[in-house]
């Protein structure tokens, strides 16, 4: 039987960092990001939005790059959504 999980995390729209909870996401917004981007715009408006992933655990589908950078909400692979979209750019 398939197992479906829902994962929620926050991702900054500017630097694409992801956060597991709202507290960390807010701290990031207030700090204006942890990293200065290549243009030196340290004052860019960092804004973390809430992301929701519906994951279906599939032992036969290896988790990898495609999952980590995914931008859609649905995941079908080994991680069951745990790593889904965490490195989406």
Residues forming contacts to Zn ion in the complex (CB under 5 A) are 12, 14-15, 33, 46, 63, 67, 75, 77, 79, 83-84
For the CB of residue 72, give the shortest distance to Zn ion in the complex, in Å.
Answer: 9
Give the ranges where the chain is alpha helix by DSSP (H).
22-31, 65-68
| Nearer to Zn ion (CB atom), residue 15 or residue 88 | 15
Nearest 10 degrees: Cα torsion 21, 24, 30, 31: -150
Nearer to Zn ion, 1 or 35 (CB): 35
State the minimum distance, in angstroms, from the CB of residue 74 to Zn ion: 8
Using the minimum distance from each CB to Zn ion, give the nearer residue, 14 or 51: 14
Alpha carbon separation from 25 to 12, 18, 32, 53, 86 (Å, rounded): 8, 8, 11, 17, 14
CB 38 → Zn ion: shortest distance, Å?
A: 14
């Amino acid at each position: 039987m398939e197992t479906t999980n829902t994962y929620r995390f926050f991702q900054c729209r500017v630097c694409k960092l992801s956060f597991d909870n709202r507290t960390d996401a807010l701290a990031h917004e207030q700090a204006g990001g942890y990293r200065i981007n290549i243009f030196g715009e340290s004052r860019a408006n960092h804004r973390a939005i809430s992301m929701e992933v519906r994951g279906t655990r599939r032992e036969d589908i290896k988790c990898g790059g495609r999952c980590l950078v995914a931008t859609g909400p649905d995941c079908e692979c080994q991680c069951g959504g745990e790593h889904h979209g965490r490195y989406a750019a």
